[in-house]
Amino acid sequence: MLMKSPTLMSGKQTTYLIIFNSLGFIKSGRYWSVSESSVIIKCQSGSKSCVNVAGNPLVMKWAGAPINLGYKCTKPSAAPVILPSDSGNSVSLQFSSIQVQPFGVKDGVFGDVTDCVGYFSIGVWSSLIVSILLISILTYGLVMLASVQPSEIYEDPKKKMIQLGADN
């Protein structure tokens, strides 16, 4: 259960109650994921920018992790609530932070988690691209340096040697 006073898209503040009616998990091999969930949203009376929802499905297919780990995300994608097509409204929940661990919780404390941030963040990609660019420039320079040929005037043993700076 969560009581929140968020700023809605219209810029107005409203208070509502969110109750996760059900939250189901499915095991598939060595991974788990959220299979089904439903939510109840009770709006404050007189609120014009809130939509009451009574047990409608909540789509959270993005939450999942290996069996022995939990799932944590500080900026997860929005979870749409499926409403009847004739309602004319659309509702989605945007969590500021979420952590779920259906298996392996000991004494009410979360265990190790997998984060929703991918292995290749923008910083990692930038570093890789700059490193590859610098290595390719260095390699090109070394190949060009290795391909320099000495002048033939210094290599002909039959000709008189050139002496620089010597008086005869």
pLDDT in tens, 146-159: 998 876 666 666 77
In which band, very low, low, confident or very high, does the pLDDT at 71 lie, cut at 50, 70 and 90? confident
Q: Each residue of 103-133: pLDDT tens digit?
A: 877 888 888 888 877 777 788 899 999 999 9
Predicted local confidence at residue 24, as pLDDT? 78
In one letter, which amino acid is 12? K
CB 71, CB 45: distance < 8 Å: no
- Rounded to whole angstroms, the Cα distance separating 65 from 70 reads 6
Domain ranges of the chain: 2-115, 122-148
Q: Average pLDDT for residues 35-48, to the nearest whole number? A: 69
Q: DSSP for 40-67, please give it.
A: EEEEPTT-SS---EEEEEB--TT-EEET
User: Of 148 and 82, which is predicted with more confidence?
Assistant: 148
Q: Cα dihedral angle (18, 48, 94, 4), rounded to 10 degrees?
A: -50
pLDDT, residue 44, reads 64
